Chains A and B, each alone.
Chain A
Amino acid sequence: DGGITQSPKYLFRKEGQNVTLSCEQNLNHDAMYWYRQDPGQGLRLIYYSQIVNDFQKGDIAEGYSVSREKKESFPLTVTSAQKNPTAFYLCASHRRGRPNEKLFFGSGTQLSVL
Chain B
Amino acid sequence: GEDVEQSLFLSVREGDSSVINCTYTDSSSTYLYWYKQEPGAGLQLLTYIFSNMDMKQDQRLTVLLNKKDKHLSLRIADTQTGDSAIYFCAESISNFGNEKLTFGTGTRLTIIP
| A interface footprint on B83-109 (CB within 8 Å = 1, 0 otherwise) | 000001000101001111111111000
Q: With A99-B92, A105-B43 given, is the CB distance from A45 to B101 under 8 Å?
A: yes
In the complex the two chains form, is B42's CB within 8 Å of A45's CB? no
Q: Which residues of A contact B33 (CB under 8 A)?
A: 102-103
Any chain B CB within 8 A of the CB of A35?
yes
| A42-B104, A99-B30, A99-B92 known; A31+B40 contact, CB < 8 A | no
Could you tell me the dominant secondary structure of chain B's interface residues?
A: strand
A50 engages B98 (CB within 8 Å): yes
Number of interface residues of A (CB under 8 A): 25
Interface-side segment among B13-21, B44-52, B60-68, B74-82? B44-52
Chain A residues positioned under 8 Å from B4 (CB to CB): 42
The residues of A that contact B106 with a CB separation of less than 8 Å are 42-43
Contact surface of A with B, Cβ cutoff 8 Å: 31, 33, 35, 40-45, 48, 50, 56, 58, 90, 92, 96-97, 99-100, 102-103, 105-108
